[in-house]
Every structure is written in structure tokens, then in C-alpha cells.
Amino acid sequence: MTRSVFVRPLVTGVAVSLLGAAVACSSNDAAEIDDPPPTDEAAAADAAPAEEAPAKSRVELAREALPAEFAAADALMTPEVRAAMKTLVEAEHDSAEAAIAAAVAGAHRKDEHRARDGFRHPTETLMFFGLTPESTVVEMGAGGGWYTEIIAPVVAQKGQLVIGTFDPATDPASMRSVYAARQQALLQRQPELYGNAKTFVLQDGPLQIGPPGSADLVVAIREMHNWQRGGNFDAYVASVFDVLKPGGTFGVVQHRAKEGTQGEDTADSGYLAQDWLIKKVTAAGFELEETSEINANAADTKDYKDGVWTLPPVLRLGDTDRAKYEAIGESDRMTLRFKKPS
């Protein structure tokens, strides 16, 4: 039987970094403009004013911002913070909830990540999915590491974290290359948390996540619209089913489209309908065990020209109607727990 759990979402202000506004949740890779120079540059300069340089793509902006991002991350890792990370990983907690809450409160977390806790409810969400210190957890598409930095210390001693990331050698004009560089830097710069983490490559089609039946929990958090956009939805769900143990959990958080809509029509806006998603996942063999409104937001109208990225934390329209979208907050999200039958 499927049960529903409701927790009223807390709406607070969200800090947004310049980098986040440029790249978060984006897979729209703009083509480079390569106009040839005039044959007689001096004559051309006399005849007409110089043309403006073409606007840089989000990928170019993101790549240029990476050194500053890495420097800020290194500055956060003071000896005191590294000592606190070691203590956090080695601590014994009375319950899984206490372990998760300690990770959420950890000094290693970025300020811009911590500022979004009020919309994302990480402790409640991970408890709903059944995370424990002994879990073998697969994170499908870690992005900027928002959940990675919470899950990693929980399972560092007794469990295992397996992270889906892109190939660092992928097309440099693709946003995937930026995510790969960011994830690689995260794992290398914080061995206290990620020393025993494993990775697998996200690619089109079926995935080689790990040995069949080896994972207790797989999480896909704000990810599945990308699967649909890339034509990988069914293949990825099948790969998740394969890697889970019988009785294992598939935990989903996803921007929620209006009911009755089809993923083929809404994925480009970042949203998927809950009934559509459930039908697709259960068709792959999963059972829907429970739903939750932990991450719901009734103020989200889901009808923005620039899709979910109109809302925080991306705020793609910049200062245009910024106060309006900040008042709405982050998107309305379904939170679902599926089970692989035992």
C-alpha cells in the first residue's frame, strides 16, 4: 500500500552565487561563433565601427569561473575544518537521523549550499529514503555536490558512496565537462570525506553502475528531467533496477509538472508530472512504496518561459522580476520512494 507523508515546506531567502546563476541545472550548450576576420582589417576598421565580441555561452562562463570556485573551496578547507571533517566521519551516532543531521550541520558544507536547506529539507528527505551509515548508496548525477557532501560523511566508515559523474575528457564545449571537472576536484580536494568513494561514468544508454544487486539505495535528486531530455529515461531506470539489491530503495526528488502532462512535453522546462513518472518507473519493475510532500511548494506556478531555471537558485532572468521569483522560492517537488521487489 502507498502512503503519503506531508511536511509543510519552509520558505526562506536563498543566497545565489554568480556561478550558480550561470550554470546550475543547465544542459543547453550554445555553439561557439567563429566569424573570419576581414581580408583588410585596417580598411574594415575605417569603414565601419568594430563589431562587439559574441556573447559567451554558459559553458564558457562556467569554465572561466572554475578556478575561482576551486580557490574558494580550498579557502574553506582550513586545518580546523579538516579536523572537524575527520571528527564528523569518525563519530558514532545513536541513530541514522543523528548521523544525517550532523552531516547537514558540518563545517565542510559551502555557505551557498547551506542557504538552500530550507527548501530542500535534506535530513527529512534522506530519512524518508532510509539512508543509514551502513548503506551502499548510488548518487545519480552529483552535479555541484549538494547532496554528496551530506551523504559522504554518513556512510564513510561503514557504508559506501558510489557517484555518477561525467567523463572529464568529454567535449569541452559541453556542460558535462564542467560538471566532471567540478566533481573530480571535489573528490580530490576532500579525501577526509571521499577517500573511499567510487565513481562511474554517466553516458547515453545503459550504465555500468556497479555489480548487479550491490546497492541498498539509489537517489536521483532533481535529475530525471535530464534523463528524459537526453533520451535515456528508460535505460537509466533499468540500470538503477539492476544495481539495487532485492528490497532496495530508489529515492526520487523531481521538479513536479502539472498532473496529466507528458514528460515528452515538459522535460525541457525541467518538470515532469508525478503520475507520468510513477507510471514509467513502475513499468520498469519497481513498486511505489510511499510518497511525501516534504519538498512541495504550492506557490510554484510551473508556467515560466525559461522553465524551472526561472526560480531560485538559478534565477535565469537576472534582475527581471527577481523579487517575485525569490518570493516563490525553489520549485514544487515530488518526493517518492520506490522499492525493488524482493
What pLDDT is attached to residue 171? Answer: 83
Q: What integer pLDDT is reported at residue 54 of this predicted model?
A: 79
- Contact (CB, 8 A) for 209 and 303: no
* Contact criterion met (CB below 8 Å) for 14 and 313: yes
Neighbours of 37 (CB within 10 A): 7
Residue 242 grid coordinates: 539492476
Q: Is 133 left (phi over 0), alpha (psi -120 to 50) or beta?
A: alpha
Residue 77 has pLDDT above 60, yes or no: yes
Global pTM value:
0.84
- Is it the case that residue 236 has pLDDT exceeding 60? yes
What's the pLDDT band for 282 if we cut at 50, 70, 90? very high
What is the model's pLDDT at position 51? 61
Mean pLDDT, the chain, integer: 86
Task: Pick the closest to residue 331 from 274, 260, 264 (CA basis).
Answer: 274
Q: Is the pLDDT of residue 173 over 90?
A: no
Share of the chain above pLDDT 90, in %: 69
Bigger pLDDT: 186 vs 30: 186
Average pLDDT over residues 125-138: 98
Q: What is the pLDDT of residues 19-52, one digit of tens each?
A: 333 334 433 332 222 222 233 333 333 444 456 6
| Averaged pLDDT, 115-126 | 97
Lowest mean pLDDT among 174-178, 214-218, 270-274: 174-178
Residue 226, class by beta-carbon neighbours within 10 Å (0-12 exposed, 13-18 middle, 19+ buried)? buried
Q: Is the pLDDT of residue 259 over 90?
A: yes
The whole-number pLDDT of residue 143 equals 81
Its sign, for the CA torsion 155, 98, 148, 332, is positive
Which region among 32-41, 54-63, 105-114, 137-146 has the lowest average model confidence (pLDDT)?
32-41
Residue 130 vs residue 2, higher pLDDT: 130
Per the CB < 8 A criterion, the answer to whether 129 and 251 are in contact is yes
pLDDT value of residue 64: 93
Q: What is the pLDDT of residue 36?
A: 27
Per residue in 292-303, pLDDT (tens digit) is 999 999 999 999
- Residue 226 reports pLDDT greater than 80: yes
* Cis upstream peptide for 313 (omega within 30°): yes
CA distances from 40 to 35, 44, 53 (A): 15, 6, 19
Question: Which is higher by pLDDT, 27 or 271?
Answer: 271
pLDDT band at 15 (very low <50, low <70, confident <90, very high): very low
The angle subtended at Cα 218 by Cα 213 and Cα 222, nearest 5°, is: 155
Kindly tell me if the per-residue pLDDT of 76 is higher than 80.
Answer: yes
Q: What is the pLDDT of residue 150?
A: 97
The per-residue pLDDT for 103 is: 98
Please report, for the chain, the start and end positions of each structural domain, with discontinuous segments joined by +.
Answer: 10-21+57-339
pLDDT, residue 26, reads: 36
pLDDT of residue 144: 82
Taking residues 10-19, what's their average pLDDT? 35
Q: Which residue has the higher pLDDT, 15 or 153?
A: 153
The confidence score (pLDDT) of residue 175 equals 85
Label residue 207 by pLDDT band (50, 70, 90).
Answer: very high
Per CATH, the number for 10-21+57-339 is 3.40.50.150
The three-state DSSP-derived secondary structure of the chain is CCEEECCCCCCCCCCCCHHHHHHCCCCCCCCCCCCCCCCCHHHHHHHCCCCCCCCCCHHHHHHHHHHHHHHHHHHHCCHHHHHHHHHHHHCCCCCHHHHHHHHHCCCCCCHHHHCCHHHHCHHHHHHHHCCCCCCEEEECCCCCCCCHHHHHHHHCCCCEEEEEECCCCCCCCCHHHHHHHHHHHHHHHCHHHHCCCEEEECCCCCCCCCCCCCEEEEEEECCHHHHHHCCCHHHHHHHHHHHEEEEEEEEEEEEEECCCCCHHHHHHHCCEEHHHHHHHHHHCCCEEEEEECCCCCCCCCCCCCCHHHHCCCCCCCCCCCHHHHHHHCCCCEEEEEEECCC
Work out the pLDDT band at 67, boundaries 50, 70, 90.
very high
Residue 174: predicted pLDDT: 85
